[in-house]
A and B are shown apart, each in its own frame.
Chain A
Amino acid sequence: GAVVSQHPSWVICKSGTSVKIECRSLDFQATTMFWYRQFPKQSLMLMATSNEGSKATYEQGVEKDKFLINHASLTLSTLTVTSAHPEDSSFYICSARDRGPPYEQYFGPGTRLTVT
């Protein structure tokens, strides 16, 4: 089956620094990748959608200058949290889809970000 990996699985950073999270599709070409944020005991909230080679489209309320998304290839997307603050601490999950059935996304295992 389609596998999506994320790296790192967890990261701790100091307030004010930036951190990059990678999302890779291992055995398929991801024409579209998605980034979600999940707060404890809450649902997944879509942050942005990125199509390979295009700028990401951000959901309302998501700061595009703070959460930089790059989808430079068909197997890799990155999310950079710039000038991180404690309120950015969360579980970040990526997903990817190919040209398969509508809406079918394959999810990565997530990255736990803690900002101290």
Chain B
Amino acid sequence: AQSVTQPDIHITVSEGASLELRCNYSYGATPYLFWYVQSPGQGLQLLLKYFSGDTLVQGIKGFEAEFKRSQSSFNLRKPSVHWSDAAEYFCAVGVISNFGNEKLTFGTGTRLTIIP
């Protein structure tokens, strides 16, 4: 069965510092991979996605992620974080369910705290 692992439950970084959030997946087929951000009281917002092609994908808000098939990873990065980046981040893999529907399987999330 498919799964997504986000090993870091909580990360704290200083404003202006670089950021890397880790994501590992387990899926037998070619994965569709996503990163979402969830701010308090708001829905999930798509940061970026990987379907195929260039393994380094650019997203919104200055985020990027790199797909590494050999490591089954899809880590999210940002060169310089802003206080507004404080939120919960979820990695997800798109799979086909037993019913033939598309579905997203999410990791447990990483909470990002930014300190001045």
Residues of A whose CB lies within 8 Å of any CB of B are 4, 9, 32, 34, 41-46, 49, 57, 59, 93, 95, 97, 101-105, 107-110
Please provide the 5 A-B residue pairs with the shortest distance between their CB atoms, ordered closest to farther: A103-B94, A107-B43, A107-B44, A109-B43, A43-B106
**Secondary structure call for the B interface:** strand
List, in ascending order, chain B residues with CB within 8 A of A9's CB: 41
With both chains docked as a complex, state the minimum distance between the C-beta of A58 and any C-beta of chain B, in angstroms: 9
**B104 close to A43 (CB less than 8 A):** no
Contact residues on B (Cβ < 8 Å of other chain), bracket = 20 to 34
Residues of B27-66 whose CB lies within 8 A of A: 32, 34, 36, 41-46, 49, 51
**A57 close to B101 (CB less than 8 A):** yes
Residues of B whose CB lies within 8 Å of any CB of A are 9, 32, 34, 36, 41-46, 49, 51, 90, 94, 97, 99, 101-109, 111
List, in ascending order, chain B residues with CB within 8 A of A108's CB: 43
**A103 close to B102 (CB less than 8 A):** yes
**A102 close to B51 (CB less than 8 A):** yes
With both chains docked as a complex, state the minimum distance between the C-beta of A72 and any C-beta of chain B, in angstroms: 19
A43 to B36 CA separation, bound complex (whole angstroms) = 12
List, in ascending order, chain B residues with CB within 8 A of A45's CB: 106
